[in-house]
């Protein structure tokens, strides 16, 4: 019963993350060369060009993607750091 929040294709320098739609839109507007919307975009899946983001950015995005699909129980057990 797992949920997909991120898929990586390191050899193609691409990733797909499931993000809230508002976050997806903000990223695409902020940097359309790094972030784009594919065929699953209406569900929040966002394409990422890994050559255009650094490791810290990807870490933050991966956390946001995980929080988008995680159960309420998991979110309670792993709150955001203050």
What is the number of other CB atoms lying within 10 angstroms of the CB of residue 82? 3
- Dump pLDDT digits (tens) for 64-78: 999 999 999 999 999
The predicted structure's pLDDT at residue 43: 85
pTM assigned to the model = 0.88
Distance CA 30, CA 49 (A): 14
Distance CA 1, CA 3 (A): 7
Strands 35-37 and 6-9: unpaired
pLDDT band at 39 (very low <50, low <70, confident <90, very high): confident
Of 67, 71, 61, 49, nearest to 17 by C-alpha is 61
Distance CA 18, CA 46 (A): 6
């Amino acid at each position: 019963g797992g949920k997909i929040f991120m898929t990586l294709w390191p050899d193609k320098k691409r990733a797909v993350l499931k993000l809230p739609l508002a976050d997806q839109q903000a990223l695409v507007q902020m940097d359309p060369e790094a972030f784009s919307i594919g065929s699953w975009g209406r569900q929040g899946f966002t394409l990422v060009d890994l050559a255009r983001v650094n490791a810290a950015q990807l870490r933050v995005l991966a956390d946001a993607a995980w929080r988008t699909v995680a159960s309420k129980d998991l979110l309670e057990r792993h709150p955001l750091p203050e």
